[in-house]
Structure 1
Amino acid sequence: MPYAQGRTFYDADSHLMELSEWLPKYADPGIRERIRPLYLGGAGAKAAELIAQAKARAADRGATVKLEENVMTAKGWLALGAFDPAERSRALDLIGVDRQLVFPTFAFSQFLGGDAELLWGGTRALNRAIADFCSVDRRLIAVGSVPWGERTCAEAEAALDARCGAILVNSMPGAKSPTHPDFHPLWAMLQERGIPFMLHIGGGGRALRRAFNQNGLKPTTDWLGGGENVRSKDYMAIHQTPEQFLACMVLDGIFEKFPKLRGGVIEQGALYLPALLRRLDICQQSFRKTEPALNLPLKASDYLRRQVKFTPFPNEPVGWIIENSGPEMLLFSTDYPHPEGTKDPIGRFEATMGQVNEQAKERFYSRNFAEMMGDAA
């Protein structure tokens, strides 16, 4: 019997757990030898041991059957289908989700940096790799990624041609705003092809200034040991860079110019959403006399309501967020196999949704995802 049952579930956030040898296989010959080893952050010290355990379990049918009996329990590399695509397909059966977006975890560490050739070559390799991982099962949707720069549009097109079903962009800009005319071809292409953009935790760098951790206290460890290494003060700032990104997309008229462009804000919470909607409208009203571009046909908040969806954290009051922002904006997610998603995300969400009607629940668990994905779903 699957973990999720009784309705249709579309999962807006999951990950694969990379192995060191995975990414180089997909790189062009001139780049392959330059791909760096995985940087595993807080998981580094135990990663080799965990990967060895996971490979041993995969070769042991009895151990695999035992894992399948409680698929949501194991996390990281130890989870079913963490890095094996055939196993991932089996995991979907047992979890009970009918669609699942798949993001990388650590692979960006193998090519990000100031070496432009490695950056763009690694980007193309990763998009090929994640598309291949997801090709085994139509329920899996590969999230390609592109950094900001001269080749953003070209690499996004290559990712779509490789069968990626969404494009992850950084919420922190490069030298130019994502709303600059140089990037209009990106938004136009995504709109035309019916492919959403994604923002994800980590894509804006550290929103918290490092000095705030120089506080004379004993250093803290990551909350759950997951891929994003979130601590208490990081949690308080996670939403700030996507807020800035989305505000600029609205106020600079991108959502007006590209009315069928859709996006998702993933694993950055949604508790701030009611305030963001109100703040956008106040901003538009307050500055429209001196900034004529703000004289848009719609209220600023209506662009987000129309075109962007958000995943709440399992510890956030989903019912309250729906009540104060509307039923059309939130997405269900498991964060599988990262521990941040918890062993029972449905139970966590349901605990705060006692007053949410069935239509709004249907939107949360599947319909909003389908709207976001459009033809890609």
Structure 2
Amino acid sequence: MAYAPADRDIYDADSHIMELPDFLKRYADPGLRDEIPEVSYSASIVTDEEVAVIMDQGGKHSDEHVAAQVALGDALIEKSKEIQALGAFNPGDRRTAMDLLGFRKQLVFATHSLRMPFSPSSKLESRLRYGATRAHNRHMIDFCAADDRLMGVAAIPLDDPELALKELDFVLASNLKAVWVPHRAPLDRSPGHVDFDPFWAKLAEAGVPFVLHVGGAPLQLAKAWMNNGRPPTKDWLGGGENLRTKDVAVLHEGPEQFLTMMILDGVLHRNPGLKGAAVELGAGWVPELLRRLDWVVKHWSRNDANLQGLHRTPSEQITQQLAFTPFVFEEVGNFIDQSNEDLYLFSSDYPHIEGGRNPIGRFEASLGERPASVRDKFYAENFLRIFPNARVDRKATVAA
């Protein structure tokens, strides 16, 4: 029996690979391998000892461990977490995990391998930034080729428009289904700069969405904001390298800025076929974003010629072209009431512990007495609006 109910189509907008140390090196161009870093778990709850044991076993879990994970059945999502999870890094095991999870499709993101590609440093050489990017994308292609339910997410930093477009050509020729871009200004430009027009237009033409995701910009606030003369605050896992109280309170600012620039610079207006999603960045900020941008455009278009050609309000553009994943602890039902039911996506975050032990149960509690049509949109239809090629014929699946 699978975790997801058999009578409901559920599309998962967030899951992850837990990369092994050589994730990038193995897939990098030979001339770059010595300069491409190993994937590090130093800022993670995963210990070096755990990783070492897996590497000593040839980069895989033991047969006994895999058997124990499979035996969890529909409790897999509750108890199978992080690098010890079934299918965390082995594509064959991930296929079994998908059988036990029961999701129709699942976006697959990296976890720790994008520090070099997404680095905000202007001093990083482009050959290394984009060489590590290509290695990531090659590995993601291979991992997701094992199961057509896995929708691999490519990574493309925008810092060099010409190289970003070149990498996009590579991605569009692959089986990857979305493009993760960092939600920060690409060094000295807005993401709506004219230099990026060919990039967004090509994505729109190909029907491949862009995605923003936690980790696409620095997680933590500048040290000055944390300096209040009191002992340092630990993160929610008890350490100091992940999200702390102040960090999570303003986590939305980065993606909100990025999407605001995309709208005010006219990117969504010029490319009505361009779709996108903000994933694992919360959704409580979305209703106010719609109200604020409509207000800004209404009043500032009197003086800003860039806004005078917009034929759809920002809230219409966002509703038609974007979607957002709430955290499992957020009240998505209230967000729907404050905005509309077309904006939000289910996500499990498998195998990260942030996704909770029973995300469906948590979201069901938040949706409360709202009708089945709202649930259909949250679990499936909104996902398929952003990823229209992901639709699965459930009757055919059941028959198979």
Name 1:14's counterpart in structure 2.
15
Render the CA deviation track for 1:137-196: whole Å, top value 9, x for unaligned. 000011001112221111122122232110001110122111111111111111111100
Residue of structure 2 in register with 1:187 after alignment? 200
The answer as to 2:295 corresponding to 1:289 is no
- The equivalent residue for 2:398 is none
The gaps in structure 2 that reach 5 residues or longer are: 392-400
TM-score, normalised via structure 1 length: 0.94
Aligned to 1:244: 257
Contact (CA 8 Å) 1:191, 1:260: kept in 2 or not?
yes
SS at structure 2 position matched to 1:184:
helix
Q: CA shift at 1:305, angstroms?
A: 0.7
Q: Is the 8 A contact 2:24 2:39 kept in 1?
A: no
* Equivalent pair of 1:207/1:241 in contact (CA under 8 Å): no
1:244-265 CA distance string (max 9 Å, x none): 1111111111111000100000
| Residue number among 97, 121, 138 corresponding to 1:91 in the alignment | 97
Counterpart in 1 of 2:115?
A: 109
CA contact (8 A) 1:224 1:339 kept: no
- Letter of the 1:31 counterpart: L
Give me the CA root mean square deviation. Answer: 2.1
Does the CA contact (< 8 Å) of 2:220 and 2:243 recur in 1? Answer: no
SS at match of 2:114: helix
> Structure 2: how far apart are the matches of 1:364 and 1:158?
32
Change in 2 beyond 3 A, CA 1:203/1:62: closer
- After superposition, the Cα gap between the structure-2 partners of 1:248 and 1:158, relative to the gap in structure 1 and judged at 3 Å, is same
Is the contact between residue 13 and residue 333 of structure 1 (CA under 8 Å) also seen in structure 2? yes
Instruction: Determine the C-alpha separation between the residues in 2 that align with 1:281 and 1:110.
Output: 37
Equivalent residue, structure 1, for 2:271:
258
Q: Normalization by structure 2: what TM-score?
A: 0.89
Alpha-carbon distance, 1:23 to partner: 2.0
Q: Give the SS at the match of 1:283.
A: helix
Q: Does 1:354 align with 2:384?
A: no
**Aligned AA (2:40):** Y
Matching of residue 75 in structure 1 with residue 89 in structure 2:
no
> Distance in 1 between the 2:210 and 2:133 partners?
16
Q: Counterpart in 2 of 1:339?
A: 353
Aligned residue-pair number: 377
Q: Would the alpha carbon gap of residues 360 and 140 (structure 1) be closer, same or farther in structure 2, given more than 3 Å must change?
A: same
What pairs up with 1:214-233 in 2 under 5 angstroms? 214-224=227-237, 229-233=242-246
Partner of 1:4: 4
1:346 and 1:44 map into 2 onto residues whose CA distance is 24
Which deviations, in whole Å up to 9, do the C-alpha atoms of 1:287-325 show, x marking residues without a partner? Answer: 111102212111121110110000000111111011111
Deviation at 1:30, TM superposition (A): 0.9
Shift of 1:281: 0.8
> Quick one: distance in 1 between partners of 2:222 and 2:115?
21
How far apart in 1 are the matches of 2:74 and 2:220? 39
How far apart, CA to CA, are the structure 2 residues paired with 1:8 and 1:69? 16
Q: How far, CA to CA, are the matches of 1:343 and 1:10 in structure 2?
A: 17
Structure 1 counterpart SS, 2:44:
helix
Please tell me whether the aligned partners of residues 46 and 83 of structure 2 are also in contact (alpha carbons under 8 angstroms): no
The correspondence for 1:176, drawn from 176, 180, 189, is 189
CA contact (8 A) 2:19 2:89 kept: yes
| Counterpart in the other structure of 1:271 | 284
Larger deviation, residues 52-61 vs 196-205: 52-61
What one-letter code is carried by the residue in structure 2 that aligns with 1:194? G
- Once the two structures are TM-superposed, the CA of residue 33 in structure 1 deviates from its matched residue by 2.1
Deviation at 1:57, TM superposition (A): 4.8
Unpaired runs of 5+ residues, structure 1, are none
- The 1:207/1:184 distance shift into structure 2, 3 A limit, reads farther
Distance 1:222 1:161 in 2: 40
| Aligned counterparts of 2:209 and 2:101: Cα–Cα separation in 1 | 24
Q: Which runs of 4+ in 1 moved over 6 A?
A: none
After superposition, the C-alpha distances for 1:252-288 in whole angstroms (9 at most, x for unaligned) are 1111100010000000000111111000011111211
Which of 144, 168, 171 does residue 154 from structure 2 map onto?
144
Q: Which position in structure 1 is the counterpart of 2:316?
A: 302
